[in-house]
Amino acid sequence: MNRFKQGVKHLRPQRVLAATAAVAVAGAGMSLVSMGTAAAAPGCSVAYTANSWGSGFTASIDITNSGDPITSWALEFDYAGNQAAGSAWGGTLTQTGKHVKIVNAAWNGSLASGAKTNVGFNGTYSGTNTKPTDFTLNGVACNGGTTNPTPTTTVSATVEPTVEPTVEPTVEPTQQPGEHLDNPFVGAKWYVNPDWSAKAAAEPGGSAVANQPTAVWLDTIAAINAPAGSGYTTSLRKHLDNALAQNATLAQFVIYNLPGRDCAALASNGELGPTEIDRYKSDYIDPIAAIQADPKYKSIRIVNIVEIDSLPNLVTNAGSSAGSTQACRDMLANGNYGTGIAYALSKLRAAGSNTYNYIDAAHHGWLGWDSNFAPAAKLFADTAKKATGGVNTVDGFITNTANYSALSEPFVKINTSVNGTSVRQSKWLDWNQYTDELTFAQAFRNQLVSAGFNSNIGMLIDTSRNGWGGSARPTAASTSTDLNTFVDASRIDRRIHAGNWCNQSGAGLGERPKAAPASGIDAYTWVKPPGESDGSSSLVPTGPNNPGGKGFDRMCDPTYTGNDRNGNSLSGALPNAPVSGAWFSAQFRQLLANAWPAL
Ligand code: BGC
């Protein structure tokens, strides 16, 4: 998998929205129908926030179109002081004296009525960084209201209301046997995968965690039925039967087999070529949905974690940035990630009231920059809206899957500064808006709701390997007055670079799986089974040690000095690693030793 980020300078994706036609359709049964054309009624509201640290600031502006749909916009305002705005993300900014004008980007010009977009920029100032108060959008003052539409030709006609038939239902509406819960993790007994459990228990000290629940990865078509000779021992049905035998009421599966999978890395490239969308539907999603729909499994809350890394790769790695790849550009162009995910959401959710979909939302070191944050939420919403059932097919999102980002940084908070300089300016954070996964997941949940998801969605955080305990864990904030020294000595995430993702040296097991641990969070869960490799540290030829023909990604090679996506840093990967998914005993032992909370 690829776990990496793009810095503040990059803005993706370049999806141009079709212009929304300003047409309102009146339903039958209304007593008054207005026909004719009316001039667009403009209206807007603006929320401006700035994160200031004495000399510089990051501004974030939410713009809501409270008027008729628009296809382009220009936001204008004046500063009271000497603020100098830099270039913006989410739009093109020009400043003349105190006057600032931001014109939409290609992808966010069209705003339906009620739609919101976000722009931001970094700036400098001295004295007081007073917020601007008066904004205009397309020349109209933003006060949350709309101006009256100017009718050009209006014809009014009185229509008799349609009489609703009052027919008593003869049959009770069909009830689904199980209720679809807001947070399926609460009160559930989670399935423990016996295959993983046996490997964990066989390691010294492993029995301390061997009864923890972990997710089952359906990472190929063969994983569904586990035929003899496939290398899989337990089919999807067998896992669900095992769950029944355990009296478990919740089981977690990772749906991970998109066409052209893992387009920005090589260790987990999939079996389906970029255009094999039909096979994805018929040979992968349909059989999974059919098994999950079996009434035999109604008592199990089936949690599907949908397609790791795919949409985030379209946000950051499919354009012209140095970290982008042709494979991701191809997947953006052919649309098969979005098509596949919309199909998976529809089919899996329709399998029963007991199925739950959580979409992968990368992690703070990937989407935590404003340039990636809002565009990602928008892409996720656009994708879900294409599912049958739309955003209602989505129960939530998961962050940090198979990654190592610390859950909470106790000594490096986003508002921490050193000698008046924000930690955001450190090399480690590189202007990120978040220092850890919990603050990112909670904020991203809000962004997703703004983008159109239901307000009761919940986040999952994969805490399988983000513990960062052991003797090297800082116990207090550093006293250094040098910004980078302070951050590097205070942070508990001890990776060389936050873009490093493969078999990280020094990592430990994280929070044990737990339901509803924090506001907005449905669960901490172990999705990446601890001890399973992220990728081989050197090329393993196809054969007994690499039956699936997995690729070699140099981010898993400890001698690799990196690329644009990890700041050209050492990979931080452990040596002697087997291919992705294979048991990596040395890594498991390190995870046990560095567990936090300690075992
Ligand atoms: C691999 C999968 C494996 C999963 C869980 C991924 O990186 O590509 O094959 O099942 O990790 O270990």
When pLDDT is averaged across residues 88-98 and rounded to a whole number, the result is 83
From the list 430, 493, 522, 534, the catalytic residue is: 534
**What residues does 57 pair with on adjacent strands?**
52, 123
Q: Mean pLDDT for the chain?
A: 87
When pLDDT is averaged across residues 99-120 and rounded to a whole number, the result is 80
Domain positions in the chain? 44-141, 194-593
| pLDDT tens string 439-468 | 999 999 999 999 999 999 999 999 999 999
Selection from 388, 262, 387, 277 nearest residue 334 by Cα = 277
Going from the Cα of 7 to the center of ligand 1, the distance in angstroms, rounded, reads 26
Beta-carbon count within 10 A of 133 CB = 10
Does the pLDDT value for residue 262 go beyond 80?
yes
Going from the Cα of 222 to the center of ligand 1, the distance in angstroms, rounded, reads 14
User: Ligand 1, from 193, 580, 591: best to mutate by most atoms within 8 Å of Cβ?
Assistant: 580
Regarding the domain delimited by 44-141, which CATH topology (the fold level of the hierarchy) does it fall under?
A: Immunoglobulin-like (2.60.40)
Q: Go through 508-531 and write b for each residue having 16 or more CB atoms within 10 A of its CB, e for each that does not.
A: bbbbbbebebeebbbbbbbbbbbb
Burial class of residue 247 (count of CB atoms within 10 Å of its CB; 0-12, 13-18, 19+): exposed
What span, in angstroms and rounded, lies between the C-alpha atoms of 581 and 549?
12
Does the pLDDT value for residue 22 go beyond 70?
no
**Contact 276 CB / ligand 1 (< 6 Å):** no
Q: Which ligand 1 atom is nearest residue 267's CA? A: 8
Q: Give long-range contacts, CB 8 A cutoff, 24+ apart: 192-195.
A: 192/246, 192/248, 193/234, 193/239, 193/242, 193/529, 194/234, 194/242, 195/233, 195/234
**Contact 532 CB / ligand 1 (< 6 Å):** yes
564: left (phi over 0), alpha (psi -120 to 50) or beta: alpha
**Contact 462 CB / ligand 1 (< 6 Å):** no
Going from the Cα of 535 to the center of ligand 1, the distance in angstroms, rounded, reads 8
When pLDDT is averaged across residues 219-223 and rounded to a whole number, the result is 98
Check if 309 is active-site. Answer: yes
Going from the Cα of 1 to the center of ligand 1, the distance in angstroms, rounded, reads 8
Taken in order 491, 493, 495, 498, the sign of the CA dihedral is: negative
**Contact 217 CB / ligand 1 (< 6 Å):** yes
When pLDDT is averaged across residues 533-558 and rounded to a whole number, the result is 96
Residue type, 356: Y
When pLDDT is averaged across residues 60-67 and rounded to a whole number, the result is 85
Does the pLDDT value for residue 169 go beyond 50?
no
Selection from 381, 386, 382, 362 nearest residue 372 by Cα = 362
- Please report which confidence band the pLDDT of residue 347 belongs to, taking 50, 70 and 90 as the band edges: very high
When pLDDT is averaged across residues 362-381 and rounded to a whole number, the result is 98
User: Ligand 1, from 532, 545, 579, 588: best to mutate by most atoms within 8 Å of Cβ?
Assistant: 532
DSSP character string of 164-185? PP-PPPSSPPPPPSS---S-TT
Taking CA atoms only, the protein residue closest to ligand 1 atom 12 is 581
84-89 and 44-52 beta bridge pairing: unpaired
Contact present, 307 and 344 (Cβ < 8 Å): yes
Phi, psi for 302 (deg, rounded to 5): -95, 115
What pLDDT, on the 0 to 100 scale, is given for residue 20? 24
Burial class of residue 165 (count of CB atoms within 10 Å of its CB; 0-12, 13-18, 19+): exposed
- Please report which confidence band the pLDDT of residue 195 belongs to, taking 50, 70 and 90 as the band edges: very high
Does the pLDDT value for residue 155 go beyond 70?
no
Does the pLDDT value for residue 62 go beyond 50?
yes
What pLDDT, on the 0 to 100 scale, is given for residue 13? 27
Selection from 598, 595, 590, 364 nearest residue 467 by Cα = 595
What is the side-by-side order of every strand in the sheet holding 44-52? 44-52, 56-65, 116-124, 84-89
| pLDDT tens string 389-399 | 999 999 999 99
Regarding the domain delimited by 194-593, which CATH topology (the fold level of the hierarchy) does it fall under?
A: TIM Barrel (3.20.20)
What pLDDT, on the 0 to 100 scale, is given for residue 28? 26
Contact present, 132 and 77 (Cβ < 8 Å): yes
Does the pLDDT value for residue 267 go beyond 80?
yes
Does the pLDDT value for residue 87 go beyond 80?
no
309: left (phi over 0), alpha (psi -120 to 50) or beta: left
Phi, psi for 280 (deg, rounded to 5): -55, -45
- Percent share of the chain, pLDDT over 70: 87
What pLDDT, on the 0 to 100 scale, is given for residue 128? 87
Taking CA atoms only, the protein residue closest to ligand 1 atom 2 is 581
Does the pLDDT value for residue 11 go beyond 80?
no
Selection from 131, 143, 137, 142 nearest residue 50 by Cα = 131
What pLDDT, on the 0 to 100 scale, is given for residue 360? 98
What pLDDT, on the 0 to 100 scale, is given for residue 108? 65
- Please report which confidence band the pLDDT of residue 104 belongs to, taking 50, 70 and 90 as the band edges: confident
DSSP character string of 229-252? TSS--S-HHHHHHHHHHTT-SEEE
What pLDDT, on the 0 to 100 scale, is given for residue 147? 60
What pLDDT, on the 0 to 100 scale, is given for residue 170? 32
What pLDDT, on the 0 to 100 scale, is given for residue 52? 73
| pLDDT tens string 477-513 | 999 999 999 999 999 999 999 999 999 999 999 999 9
The residue among 422 and 66 whose pLDDT is bigger is 422
- Percent share of the chain, pLDDT over 90: 73
Check if 283 is active-site. Answer: no
From the list 68, 219, 262, 309, the catalytic residue is: 309
Does the pLDDT value for residue 88 go beyond 80?
no
